[in-house]
């Protein structure tokens, strides 16, 4: 089995337009959630989100590209550029023919659906732009990354709601670990902060109107975010031989299905994924110093997740740190695991654990060290990143310091 390392990272999200800005915001416990600036926001009952601000597509893409790139694709391409540039890899010859891109997204081109439904239903027009389909399809982002960077190996998109990115990165990890490929571009993206995208979530009545406060007793729901994070996963020997900078090592991955309920999480399903990832990594549970929680800020998720962690870790649950960075960047749905992996890398590499901000009141059902409100310096040898999706699909990654 090959060892797998991360040699490049890129992102754009509500906290920053690149990795450095995002990690700085996480260190400072800054909140990227604020009033939504979208069309018809006054008709929404939920009017906040972790929106990417100060972003003008025309500074990055030409008119022809914009006609093909939905916002989720634009975010993906920007994050991929940062990650691949950092990795220093040039995809040519054999490396290009083996390497691919596996990305997660739950909704794909939601803005494109939204805008074009308006055109035909609201405005009553009978014609839409010819590129609607290639713009909105869930694999558009993965395909454009492959075209932009000459990635000719296995490429596809994974859609498992809120676990999409973790499932995607798990596939990339497996492909390199098994020796099938040398390098993979992987991560995820989401952009559904538009009228229809927020309206759909409103319907479930699990959204907060004021803030995302994971693990806090007064939490009242999740807040949506948007953006992307993309990584270069690479065979350790290959990366080492070319003198690449190693950000972290991916050492384990596990997936489980609750097989129980379409929205309510299950403690057993989550616990099996967490313990499975630790086992796959060949670690003792005591080795885990930090968990980036799924931590959505809903009543159901947070207490179930804490119970699962307590079950898996026993006494060690009281010693490890677990934080939810969704409190800062919001829930990026299919892209969330990718942005959250950045917090794991920061913990392992920089020794800084991102906080759970908005934490106001202890909840006996979430009695773990949630790193409340202020980032913490700590040496972390191994970390987990949890993702538990609607539909009961769970995916947990394990990483190690290199």
Partner 1 sequence: MPETVRDRVIQIIADQALLDVSDISMDQTLEDLGIDSLGLVESIFAIEETFDIQVPFNANDPKASAFDISSVASIVEAVQKLVADQAK
The smaller minimum CB distance to partner 1, of residues 147 and 300, is found at 300
DSSP 187-226: EEEE---SHHHHHHHHHHT-B-SS---TT-TT---B-BB-
Q: Is 362 in the site for partner 1 (CB under 8 A)?
A: no
Q: Identify how many contiguous H helices and E strands the chain contains and give both numbers.
A: 14, 14
Exposed (0-12), middle (13-18) or buried (19+): which is 3, by Cβ within 10 Å?
A: middle
Query: Is residue 162 among the annotated active site residues?
Result: yes
Distance CA 381, CA 360 (A): 29
Q: Is 402 in the site for partner 1 (CB under 8 A)?
A: no
Among 147, 200, 260, 263, binds partner 1 (CB under 8 A): 263
Asked if 253 and 277 count as a contact pair (C-beta separation under 8 A), the reply is yes
- State the minimum distance, in angstroms, from the CB of residue 309 to partner 1: 20
Among 38, 132, 137, 299, binds partner 1 (CB under 8 A): 299
Cα atoms found within 13 Å of the Cα of residue 125, Cβ hemisphere only: 9
Size of the site for partner 1 (CB under 8 A): 15
Q: Is 298 in the site for partner 1 (CB under 8 A)?
A: yes
Measured in whole angstroms, the distance separating CA 376 from the mean position of its chain's CA atoms is 22
The smaller minimum CB distance to partner 1, of residues 30 and 199, is found at 199
Helix, strand, or coil (residue 231): strand
Query: Which of 162, 212, 344, 366 is an active site residue?
Result: 162
Tokens of residue 238, six digits: 């290959």
Tokens of residue 244, six digits: 């690449």
CA–CA distances in Å: residue 138 to residues 76, 230, 370: 12, 16, 34
The smaller minimum CB distance to partner 1, of residues 301 and 336, is found at 301
- How many CB atoms lie under 10 A from the CB of residue 342? 28
Query: Is residue 31 among the annotated active site residues?
Result: no
Helix, strand, or coil (residue 394): strand
The smaller minimum CB distance to partner 1, of residues 221 and 227, is found at 221
Determine the interface stretch with partner 1 among 95-103, 127-135, 294-302, 330-338 (rule: CB under 8 A): 294-302
Query: Which of 144, 329, 331, 344 is an active site residue?
Result: 331
198-237 positions binding partner 1, by CB under 8 A: 203-206, 208, 219-221
Q: Is 42 in the site for partner 1 (CB under 8 A)?
A: no
The smaller minimum CB distance to partner 1, of residues 205 and 315, is found at 205
Query: Is residue 294 among the annotated active site residues?
Result: yes
44-103 positions binding partner 1, by CB under 8 A: 45
CA–CA distances in Å: residue 295 to residues 164, 166, 374: 16, 15, 16
Distance CA 199, CA 46 (A): 8
The smaller minimum CB distance to partner 1, of residues 217 and 402, is found at 217
- Which residues contribute to the site for partner 1 (CB under 8 A)? 45, 203-206, 208, 219-221, 262-264, 298-300
> Which active-site residues does the annotation give?
162, 294, 331
């Amino acid at each position: 089995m090959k060892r797998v390392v991360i040699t490049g990272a890129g992102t754009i999200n509500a906290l920053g337009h690149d990795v450095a800005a995002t990690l700085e915001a996480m260190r400072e416990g800054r909140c990227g959630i604020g009033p939504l600036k979208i069309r018809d926001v006054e008709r929404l009952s939920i009017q906040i989100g972790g929106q990417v601000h100060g972003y003008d597509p025309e500074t990055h893409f030409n008119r022809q590209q914009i006609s093909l790139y939905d916002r989720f694709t634009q975010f993906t391409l920007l994050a991929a550029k940062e990650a691949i540039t950092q990795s220093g890899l040039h995809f040519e010859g054999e490396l290009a023919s083996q390497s691919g891109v596996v990305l997660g997204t739950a909704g794909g081109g939601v803005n494109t659906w939204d805008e074009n439904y308006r055109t035909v239903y609201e405005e009553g027009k009978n014609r839409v732009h010819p590129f609607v389909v290639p713009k909105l399809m869930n694999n558009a982002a993965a395909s454009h990354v492959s075209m932009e960077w000459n990635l000719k190996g296995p490429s596809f998109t994974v859609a498992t709601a809120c676990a999409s990115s973790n499932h995607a990165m798990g596939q990339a990890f497996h492909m390199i670990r098994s020796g099938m490929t040398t390098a993979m571009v992987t991560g995820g993206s989401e952009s559904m902060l538009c009228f229809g995208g927020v309206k759909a979530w409103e319907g479930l009545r699990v959204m907060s109107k004021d803030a995302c406060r994971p693990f806090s007793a007064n939490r009242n729901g999740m807040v949506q975010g948007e953006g992307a994070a993309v990584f270069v996963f690479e065979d350790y020997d290959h990366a080492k031989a070319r003198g690449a900078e190693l950000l972290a090592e991916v050492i384990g991955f596990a997936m489980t299905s609750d097989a129980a309920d379409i929205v309510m999480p299950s403690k057993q399903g989550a616990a099996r994924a967490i313990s499975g990832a630790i086992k796959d990594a060949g670690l003792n549970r005591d080795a885990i110093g930090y968990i980036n929680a799924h931590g959505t800020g809903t009543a159901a998720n947070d207490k179930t997740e804490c119970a699962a962690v307590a079950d898996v870790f026993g006494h060690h649950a009281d010693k490890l740190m677990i934080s939810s960075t969704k409190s800062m960047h919001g829930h990026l749905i299919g892209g969330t695991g990718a942005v959250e992996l950045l917090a794991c890398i920061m913990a392992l590499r920089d020794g800084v654990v991102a906080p759970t901000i908005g934490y106001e009141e202890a909840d006996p059902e979430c009695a773990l060290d949630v790193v409340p409100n202020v980032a913490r310096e700590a040496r972390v040898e191994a970390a987990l990143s949890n993702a538990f999706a609607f539909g009961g699909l769970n995916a947990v990654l394990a990483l190690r310091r290199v």
